[in-house]
Chain A
């Protein structure tokens, strides 16, 4: 039996399981008779057949997963799901392969960049389906699988670690990995339900409220309208979006502990949250002043509303918009693009560096300065009162250097394809951080880019979502040597 048979078995089961995700849009298509029903049925059947064909030869391969298998399982699953998710776009919208895979990957990695325009007039099932893709990808498809499939009870930690975000991956909420995954999903579902109810109460239609709550809690950024949240043009909804994005960008372990102990104390004590809030306030303040000074909007309060909305939406890598940021004057578009590298807290649904890495980098920088002043000082690296071991710090540095290498390399290639530096820099940054909006030619929409750029950016989105290491380790020859 092949050494990779257990991996193939898990990918097959997961693919079969996730193909059930075609059922809700199918129901929408049938009820509303919007003409996309056949596309979803075909997608469902095709994926089920492929999953069965993959599963049958290895149905007995239930060897435990080794640590290294975890990476392959996660990357193979994400790759397979991104491909499978593109089927309805090809079948219902007659999209090209590059466009369809890009849209599907952008959805599942919660990037939120779209190649389509005219969303308002699309079949309702497709509009639902795009939002649902983001929601399924938000917390991670593997975490979902670990929660539900008993076959992942053993070896679940390996795949869980390869998917979960942040520098410290060993921490668990409960002793059993499956229980941890279930707890995370319950919190996720709960937040989504509250968010949808709030949107509905603020005046969205039920359909809009639910679909936008999907992409809000996933900090993803797809909308069912071309104008994104700007379609509603309501200050109330803008502030609600800001609030729920913020909540979804916090570490889910904090939500878990707060619920478990019925106290808000845990939020106040978290050092990562403090830095996160500070960064959001700082970016919001700068954006408000600039917008007000440049007289983009009429009043100060208008400026404040638009500045805070985009500062939060971009920093958390969500990418909702209420105005055309790429047309804003001066440094603002670039600033917002750059802060998306921060991302939200570790263990949340955002992309980017994650605040805790920013925190550790800053702390190490300060530590080096202190050492210059006190050469013999012992300065441990602390996070929330507990000393971190040097391995974590090293891993953070490794992450940063790989991140920079990837961004530089991809930017050079895209610049070569697109012949436009602003576009190249912005799409690479946007894709790597799972942000969504970009500047230049991709400002309004990514549809006009070359197919090869779209393929490359699909890869970059996966790279960003799986925090680089998981994918790059598969590209090293050492991984495949036995």
Chain B
């Protein structure tokens, strides 16, 4: 499949890197010749220099044969015009655009076919806000991934020595959980190496465990893996940008929220918009300010400024001064590896979150939701089992009978409103949503093939 990516920024580069590992032909368009040359030396892709919305540039990038246009330039307007050009002149089947300005997003009718035809809108700020909100809901979670509109969730958490299940075989999980609660461990990462779990796999301290459970059961399961305090109540947000303000608005009804913003004017603006949030003007790495505002009582501290270094330093400071859990927004991939350890609990990479959302629209056919994990090395997929028994390699079979690719596991099934956790004897019915965990990105095409409906039998 030919894909054109406009904009070689961090998300664009990340997308190109991730997709060029697979069977996609990628062309990246940007106006920065130096950046393009660097990219071309590192990746097996074509690069085109030029303005992304100009038809001439798009033709040179091969728009006539492209199936997908992903507009990720820094300018909302360029992205929108590029989609318009692709639609009007070249009839490109799928057009994805990143639109940041909340004002545009407030008018969805703008993006209908007859106006600015964009098939999929991506708003990184919105996605990151959702992501962090999930992480605050489950203290201890490293990653929370929604399936079937949040009915089932895949949660990643680090196993601690004080969790009841740690040091035990996985098969004991079911015995330890209450009867009404069910869960399945989909994957374990030990020293960054994926392990596809079996009944006799033993969970060790510091493993990162990904498990699937129904929405309401997640805290119970997590308690098996680590000691848990109560739900997070006192939140401190550092940085009053779009993400910080949106997060405060969502959380302030149910939590005590404090927001630190450096710029007095901006702080005033946010304060007008918020009700119960306490907006503070000051530097988020100011020891006195943090102390004054009772950082040692804070359950979750989120560093959300657009400065990586400031985020990391203020998070480390907050952690040392007694904040229970710190979440840090980090743009540079190299920093994520550097800091995600004891000092910073969760590093959130906006590119990673955005790429995951984009992947959903790139995976072929039967995939309705795709999440990218571990910097794109692994993916969690919600796939629909189409077809009838005999036409499909999954429908009408029990889970143990399905010929799964290596490094892949089935976590559960969603049938209507019901979440069914995968056990070997569960039978897959037509139109079930199957949730899979693929630990090796190179196996994705096999998963795609597995869910393909065989036309021979239709």
Which residues from chain A sit less than 8 Å from chain B, CB to CB? 67, 153-154, 156-158, 170, 172, 174-179, 389
Contacts and interface: CB of A to CB of B under 8 A. Distances in A.
B41 interface: yes
Nearest to B4: A175
Contacts of A67: 41
Contacts of B62: 175
B259 to A, nearest CB: 44
Contacts of A172: 46
10 contacts: A153-B44, A157-B41, A157-B44, A158-B41, A175-B26, A175-B45, A176-B25, A176-B44, A179-B25, A389-B33
Contacts of B37: 170
A170 B44 contact: no
Most buried by A among B2, B25, B46, B62: B46
Contacts of B46: 172, 174-176
Contacts of A178: 44
B40 A175 contact: no
Contacts of B45: 175-176
Given A175-B27, A176-B44, A178-B44, 10 more contacts: A67-B41, A172-B46, A174-B25, A175-B44, A175-B45, A175-B46, A175-B62, A176-B25, A177-B44, A389-B33
B47 interface: yes
Nearest 4 pairs of A and B residues by beta carbon? A175-B25, A175-B46, A172-B46, A175-B27
A127 to B, nearest CB: 40
Contacts of A177: 44
Given A175-B26, A175-B46, A389-B33, A170 B2 contact: no
A170 B25 contact: no
Contacts of B33: 389
B2 A175 contact: yes
Nearest to B50: A386
A291 B2 CA distance: 55
Contacts of A153: 44
Nearest to A177: B44
A177 B42 CA distance: 12
A179 B26 CA distance: 12
A111 B26 CA distance: 37
Interface of B: 2, 25-27, 33, 37, 40-41, 44-47, 62
Contacts of A158: 41
A479 B188 CA distance: 44
A105 B33 CA distance: 37
A172 B40 CA distance: 11
A177 B46 CA distance: 8
B212 to A, nearest CB: 34
A156 B44 contact: yes
Contact of A170 (B26, B27, B47): B47
Contacts of A156: 44
A175 B37 CA distance: 14
Contacts of B26: 175
Given A174-B25, A175-B25, A389-B33, A154 B44 contact: yes
A244 B26 CA distance: 35
Contacts of B41: 67, 157-158
Contacts of A154: 44
Nearest to A179: B25
A67 B41 CA distance: 7
A157 B40 contact: yes
B105 to A, nearest CB: 31
Most buried by B among A67, A174, A179: A174
A458 B41 CA distance: 31
A178 B44 CA distance: 9
B391 to A, nearest CB: 33
B133 to A, nearest CB: 37
A157 B44 CA distance: 7
Most buried by B among A67, A154, A170: A170
B17 to A, nearest CB: 11
Contacts of A157: 40-41, 44
B50 to A, nearest CB: 10
Contacts of B2: 175
A362 B44 CA distance: 34
B22 to A, nearest CB: 12
A389 B49 CA distance: 12
A72 to B, nearest CB: 16
A406 to B, nearest CB: 27
A156 B46 CA distance: 13
A67 B46 CA distance: 17
Contacts of A175: 2, 25-27, 44-46, 62
Nearest to B26: A175
A354 B46 CA distance: 24
Nearest to A155: B44
A347 B27 CA distance: 21
Nearest to A70: B41
A153 B23 CA distance: 12
Most buried by B among A172, A179, A389: A172
B31 to A, nearest CB: 13
Nearest to A66: B41
A179 B44 CA distance: 11
A334 B26 CA distance: 49
A157 B36 CA distance: 14
B242 to A, nearest CB: 34
A176 B1 CA distance: 12
Contacts of A179: 25
Contacts of A389: 33
Nearest to B28: A175
Contacts of A170: 37, 40, 47
Contacts of B40: 157, 170
Nearest to B3: A175
A170 B41 CA distance: 9
B334 to A, nearest CB: 17
